[in-house]
Structure 1
Amino acid sequence: MAKYPLILMTLLGINSSIRAQEDKFQWLEEVDGKRALEFVNAQNKATFEKLSKLKDYQSIYDKTLEISNSSDRIAYPSIYGKYVYNFWKDQRHERGIWRRCTLIDYNNGKMNWETLLDIDALSQKDSVKWVYKGANGLYPSYNRFLIELSNGGGDAVYIKEFDVNTKQFVEGGFQIDEAKGEAGYIDENTLIVSTDFGKGSMTTSGYPNQVKIWKRGTSLKEAQLIYEGKKTDVGSWGGILRTDGKSYVFISRAPSMFTAQKLLWIDNKIVTLDIPDDCSVKGILKGQLIIQLKSDWVVNGQTYANGALLSINFDKLSKGLKEVQLIVQPDEFSSISDVSTTKNQLLVNMLTNVTSKLFIYSFIEGKWADRQVKAPDFGTISLISAHEFSDQYFFQYENFITPSTLYAADAGANTFTAIKSLPSYFDASKYEVKQFKARSKDGTMIPYFIVAAKNMKNDGLNPTLIVAYGGFEVSYQPFYASKYGNTWLDKGGVFVLANIRGGGEFGPKWHQDGIKEKRQNVFDDLFAVSEDLITKKITSPKHLGIMGGSNGGLLVGVAFTQRPDLYNAVVCQVPLLDMQRYNKLLAGASWMGEYGNPDIPEEWAYIQKYSPYQNLKAGMKYPEVFFTTSTRDDRVHPGHARKMVAKMNDMGYKTYYYENTEGGHAGSSTNEQSAKSTALMISYLLMKLK
């Protein structure tokens, strides 16, 4: 406060009374503090005792757990060499097993799985609640992997070298202590590492600030420093780019969430690639670096528009020259949702009006030519895994009422075959999907999907749930509603997915129109969809609920504080809520490119207008909100949800609260924990909205 005198804050339009408020619940930010955990336990007990006794709770829990543990689920493939790897949880493997089978057997449906690592057994042996977070293999043999394990499900991981032939961690092998870092093989005896190397090696966001090369047989302290960013950056990371048998050490230094310098380590020196800091690198193929633009770029007198997918001759770029080609330019109703490469082909997954179309691009005689994959229409296509030694890849198709199907495909021949489909977990013949658009406050048309019974009456009485996110250029697309089908649709509910601004459904501008000082657009979009549902008499405020997690938790937190008249139920999951202190908690500083910096008066001026924690008022008719979080969430601090509940309760408002002791930002570590959370939330929604 001393930095900005009261008169200056007044001139800037800052509400000094909000900023000056004492936060008497800040003690709840002590994650494992005795008093804080006593508060959590008391809230958990009261919520569970109430909601678990509702008539639908047990059936929802049982059905959700049955689906989660079902042997009919798709075993999603990750291709490494001649094997397919898969991580699997079920009733017998609560924390999961990491396993593999040959690619040939997988393609033929003969999935003779070989268990490599049993996380339940490892947890029991180490007396640690391990959560598997991924594996990074040694190219090209893939006989060794760097396994990432989290204690309780947080983002911080331990990294240990594992031999898949002996099925053992390598004695005396590479091992890195817990940190929000990563590592990859340069060769069998060399890693590129970004982690916590000690004092000064992490940013204010809690991510690595240094990139080092580590040789086998030496200590991590002896690793060679090849790059160091700034402490105020989001972070710096290293990796490997491979093309035509060549490998390049690649470094990404991110000053903010949406910008990153792209660098190479060549001949023991750093080479900066002259490409936009806000573009994203999608891969490298046939000597062409593939990038996607987030803003217009003028090269050699030609302007390439934001959203475009480009290729650049990589060898020339590394020497400071730019030879650029346009691969595809999405129109105003389209965006690129995913890009992947096989040995010879480029796969581009496009969104048009929030449904997918898949294309194959071939680089022939220095030019790009495209072919469309004749996959099913009017749903979501997801690229699952691609083979770097052939043109085989896997993709999935699904929509709200069509079970997910996994396809094995050949990008060279442009053919595909169904490998596995989910069973129908609910009777989809009773339901239909429609897409509408609502007019937001500034006139922008906001699309949304409705899944409802074919015989639904437009009488304003239908219990309706809106799910939305609206941030970080994340697109919310149709998905097979296996759990919602049984627990919500079959109980008379209507499900709505809103494609509000802040996401990436219509390219970079759709996102940029919802950040920082434009954030209110995101909230107005949600209100527009809500009001459109009410106008159409699909529902009414008494029967309308909203659900969102993380940034979506902020969204619904703002929604019920700004427009409590619209909603009778709110599920606020792992949320940001205290936007005055968010940048001081865990990874919060990394999101200032999205929200702004509350320590700068000009930026706090717009943040304070919507920050839910600061905008709570006494005497309002707020809905009885259900907040959820995880003690081990090391991305979005559990203090956000804890403090909001404490403040609301102190004002006399009734709330529901459940904090899982593990699970990280995902909220749950096991299928049982996930089923419990789902049963609590859906039971709450049915209680409030039916």
Structure 2
Amino acid sequence: MRGGKLLLTALAMSAALSGTAAAQVPDGSDDPFFWLEQTEGERVDAWVAEQNGYSLGVLQGDPRYQPLHDQALAILEARDRIAVPGFNRDGTIDNFWQDQTSVRGVWRRTTLESYLSDQPQWRTILDFDALARAENANWVYKGATCQTPNDDICLISLSDGGKDAVTIREFDASTGRFVEGGFVLPESKGGATWLSNDELLVYRDFGEGSLSTSGYPLVVKRLRRGQSLDQAVEIYRGQPDDLAASAYTLRDPDGRLRAVIVERTIAYYNSERFVLTPEGLKPFALPRDAEVQALLGDRLIVRLLSDWAMPSGDSFRQGDLVAVDLDAFIADPATARGELVLRPGARDSIQDVTTTRNQLLVSLYENVRGSIYVLRPEGATEAGWTRTRLPLPENVSVGLGSTSETTDQLFVNVTGYLTPPTLYLADAAAAQTQVAKTSPERFSAEGLTVEQFQARSADGTMVPYFVVHRADMPLNGATPTLLYGYGGFQNALLPGYSATVGKLWLERGGAYVVANIRGGGEFGPAWHQAALRQNRQRTHEDFIAVAEDLIARQITSPRRLGMMGGSQGGLLVGAVLTQRPELFNAAVIQVPLFDMLRYTQIGAGASWRGEYGDPAIPEQRAWIEEYSPYQRLQAGQPYPEVFIHTSTKDDRVHPSHGRKAAARLDQLGYPVLYYENTDGGHAAGANLRETARRMALEYTYLTRRLMD
């Protein structure tokens, strides 16, 4: 315990936090660390500086920190990384690149022929380091939305320090200049989409009453070139308790506008959609939890998260990929018919869907192993469309990359825990692939192997997990082991090559474990929905089961076992820490959710009520307070020293979650390391150098806890 600090104020001592009080009064009035929910301020800034000073002193003072930092930075800044390509309509290739000289990054362009060569010749379009210097701004690039079919006129999103809120400015890639007198949208969460060359649909902060309780836009307006924001015409307004409102367009490969969709997101997995017609908005009657995936010719491709009985009599199951005729569905959804495109098996999951000019591509995982199929409606049967598997390596992860709208070419990413990334150029029409780029090994995989096991969770469900370890690892419980998990928002943890995990952990004798727990999307919508809301505890039980299984197999032991997770994964680690602390000797808690009785009042928390429930409703608060880590922290437990890190600029999961966790642990007398990056946003790293520092801090901590 580090006593005599700002933590131990008279307020903290006189109003010691109890789980009961916090659960009964979730407005923060009985929370001695409520003041840490203020983003910045003299008192908060002083507390953060004191925490950072102590934690950096401990971790950066360890002689192993600097070598770990230098190794991480060398990997992150390596110039022989694969430059991730993006097709333009004219066949050229774009790339966003960061290295030691382009710390913030550069947007650049080349031809496909040049890209496929050993030494591509790039033309710089926009240098974000130079832009930040010229404007004395802390710009972080957050993406571009370009006109169709003119790829050169784009809306560039720029974030101050990595926040989700962005400033949007019109940019001409052909000249490398921002458009004089062009569209400029001041900082806000939200976005914009091109309606025509001179019109946008904008969803952002338009002033009082235009944001939801989650802090996201409720209002969609049409903005014409030359108009000020207050002259934009409102076309939709949601309800204050909705999550957000947004808009997007559906276009054919030639750029012709097929439909304009306005989406009212009531909550996660619950959206109303409307199609914009000359007469105004008309309901677009898809199931509220369906996911629009792509437009192939006249067919709209939709993924179902629940069963769908169409008025026409067609019916489909949860997890199905379904096609409907777009024009017929808009004209009369009561008579429109549906087609089954693909029905995954019980241990399968559709991870991604995209199109080239004429082909539909699906990334399908079978027991967490990837493949890519080309699907065609010709010869369709009751079992779904015909499908052809692209010739790619097996037992790896495969990811759909950028696709061409003018040909049937696409890029495919292939990787595994011990397989460095390989980029393939595929011809979907011919079902052919060729290696386009390979990444060199970043760590020595000699003597390493990957195994997949299953653990039995508390309710009997078998939960798969991967272990990356030395083939000659002794089964005596002595191997330092890092267990990673997430378990939420249908996000699947798929096998992938992590050069930093390999270099900073595996090469040094550690084992790395990834748990495919419920709440994720490894086995489709049902795997996710099994751990929603009142069933969130299943996520924690699955993770605990994996930890127990690792110990039972004598791969590791509680003395050598640590856990790591970020955001929802930070909540997972916090919950497991308070429930089964005796299983672990280290916990890295990254940009976490932690106070779940107040999460809807902090940052963008209200937007996640569909995932966790609403603590303002007594019945739902009862589910949440059973596991909310902040309220469950108590004295006399075998908590290990934990490492919590977050970012001041995180406007999604507010840094106060991590701050209050550290403050409460310290108040209770536990050792704790806390680091708050003043930039970086929810990604906790606005540039490569900050990312390298974060990684070095994490693995220095893990070395001290698990390897020493």
- TMscore range, shorter length: over 0.9
Query: Which of the numbers 337, 340, 343 marks the counterpart of 1:326?
Result: 340
User: Structure 1, residues 385-422: CA drift from partner, whole Å, max 9, x if none?
Assistant: 11111111101000000100011111111111111111
Letter in 1 for 2:326: F
1: CA distance, partners of 2:166 / 2:357: 31
Classify 1:310/1:109 alpha carbon distance in 2 versus 1 (closer, same or farther; 3 Å). farther
> Is the partner of 2:659 in helix, strand or coil?
helix
2: CA distance, partners of 1:345 / 1:230: 39
User: Structure 1, residues 465-516: CA drift from partner, whole Å, max 9, x if none?
Assistant: 0000000000000111211111101111000000000000011111111111
Classify 1:220/1:442 alpha carbon distance in 2 versus 1 (closer, same or farther; 3 Å). same
Residue equivalent to 1:6: none
Residue equivalent to 1:99: 108
TM-score, normalization: structure 2? 0.94
Q: Please state if 1:167 is matched with 2:176.
A: yes
Q: Which residues in structure 2 correspond to 1:224-623 (within 5 Å)? A: 224-243=233-252, 245=254, 246-247=256-257, 248-299=259-310, 300-321=312-333, 322-364=336-378, 368-623=385-640
Residue equivalent to 1:11: none
> Is the partner of 2:350 in helix, strand or coil?
strand
Letter in 1 for 2:342: V
2: CA distance, partners of 1:285 / 1:15: 55
Higher mean C-alpha deviation, range 203-212 or range 446-455: 203-212
8 Å Cα contact 1:514-1:521 kept in structure 2 = yes
2: CA distance, partners of 1:301 / 1:377: 39
Q: Please state if 1:187 is matched with 2:163.
A: no
> Is the partner of 1:417 in helix, strand or coil?
strand
Residue equivalent to 1:5: none
1: CA distance, partners of 2:534 / 2:643: 28
Residue equivalent to 2:87: 79
2: CA distance, partners of 1:546 / 1:213: 48
Residue equivalent to 1:124: 133
8 Å Cα contact 1:80-1:137 kept in structure 2 = no
2: CA distance, partners of 1:341 / 1:261: 25
Residue equivalent to 1:61: 69
8 Å Cα contact 1:430-1:453 kept in structure 2 = yes
Higher mean C-alpha deviation, range 206-215 or range 18-27: 18-27
2: CA distance, partners of 1:555 / 1:513: 16
> Is the partner of 1:586 in helix, strand or coil?
coil
Residue equivalent to 1:10: none
2: CA distance, partners of 1:481 / 1:218: 47
1: CA distance, partners of 2:112 / 2:442: 28
2: CA distance, partners of 1:348 / 1:473: 17
Letter in 2 for 1:112: Q
User: Structure 1, residues 277-321: CA drift from partner, whole Å, max 9, x if none?
Assistant: 000000111100100000011123343110000000111000123
1: CA distance, partners of 2:479 / 2:211: 50
Letter in 1 for 2:321: L
8 Å Cα contact 2:364-2:371 kept in structure 1 = yes
2: CA distance, partners of 1:655 / 1:423: 38
1: CA distance, partners of 2:496 / 2:132: 33
8 Å Cα contact 1:109-1:419 kept in structure 2 = no
Query: Which of the numbers 150, 171, 177 marks the counterpart of 1:141?
Result: 150
Deviation at 1:251, TM superposition (A): 1.3
Residue equivalent to 1:3: none
Deviation at 1:444, TM superposition (A): 0.1
Higher mean C-alpha deviation, range 221-230 or range 600-609: 221-230
Letter in 2 for 1:310: V
Classify 1:17/1:239 alpha carbon distance in 2 versus 1 (closer, same or farther; 3 Å). closer
8 Å Cα contact 1:274-1:320 kept in structure 2 = no
TM-score, normalization: structure 1? 0.96
Deviation at 1:108, TM superposition (A): 4.4
2: CA distance, partners of 1:16 / 1:554: 21
8 Å Cα contact 2:463-2:546 kept in structure 1 = yes
Residue equivalent to 2:3: none
Deviation at 1:430, TM superposition (A): 1.3
Residue equivalent to 2:10: none
Letter in 1 for 2:67: S
1: CA distance, partners of 2:639 / 2:330: 57
1: CA distance, partners of 2:279 / 2:515: 49
8 Å Cα contact 2:253-2:406 kept in structure 1 = no
1: CA distance, partners of 2:612 / 2:326: 34
Letter in 2 for 1:72: D
> Is the partner of 1:47 in helix, strand or coil?
helix
8 Å Cα contact 1:135-1:148 kept in structure 2 = yes
1: CA distance, partners of 2:480 / 2:571: 23
Residue equivalent to 1:672: 689
1: CA distance, partners of 2:68 / 2:24: 43
2: CA distance, partners of 1:80 / 1:110: 20
Structure 2 residues not aligned, in runs of 5+: 1-18
Classify 1:244/1:57 alpha carbon distance in 2 versus 1 (closer, same or farther; 3 Å). closer
1: CA distance, partners of 2:194 / 2:594: 39
Deviation at 1:366, TM superposition (A): 7.7
Aligned residues: 677
Query: Which of the numbers 35, 49, 54 marks the counterpart of 1:41?
Result: 49
2: CA distance, partners of 1:253 / 1:283: 19
1: CA distance, partners of 2:481 / 2:99: 31
Deviation at 1:252, TM superposition (A): 1.3
Classify 1:542/1:509 alpha carbon distance in 2 versus 1 (closer, same or farther; 3 Å). same
Classify 1:297/1:625 alpha carbon distance in 2 versus 1 (closer, same or farther; 3 Å). same
2: CA distance, partners of 1:279 / 1:484: 36
Higher mean C-alpha deviation, range 519-528 or range 357-366: 357-366
Structure 1 residues not aligned, in runs of 5+: 1-13
8 Å Cα contact 1:116-1:164 kept in structure 2 = yes
Higher mean C-alpha deviation, range 261-270 or range 89-98: 261-270
Deviation at 1:686, TM superposition (A): 0.9
Residue equivalent to 2:7: none
> Is the partner of 1:135 in helix, strand or coil?
strand
> Is the partner of 1:318 in helix, strand or coil?
helix
2: CA distance, partners of 1:427 / 1:238: 47
Deviation at 1:19, TM superposition (A): 2.2
Letter in 1 for 2:212: T
Residue equivalent to 2:14: none
8 Å Cα contact 1:501-1:525 kept in structure 2 = yes
1: CA distance, partners of 2:529 / 2:59: 39
1: CA distance, partners of 2:533 / 2:379: 44
> Is the partner of 1:424 in helix, strand or coil?
coil
1: CA distance, partners of 2:240 / 2:122: 45
Q: Which residues in structure 2 correspond to 1:204-243 (within 5 Å)? A: 204-243=213-252
2: CA distance, partners of 1:376 / 1:170: 45
> Is the partner of 1:429 in helix, strand or coil?
coil
2: CA distance, partners of 1:259 / 1:406: 36
Higher mean C-alpha deviation, range 643-652 or range 47-56: 47-56
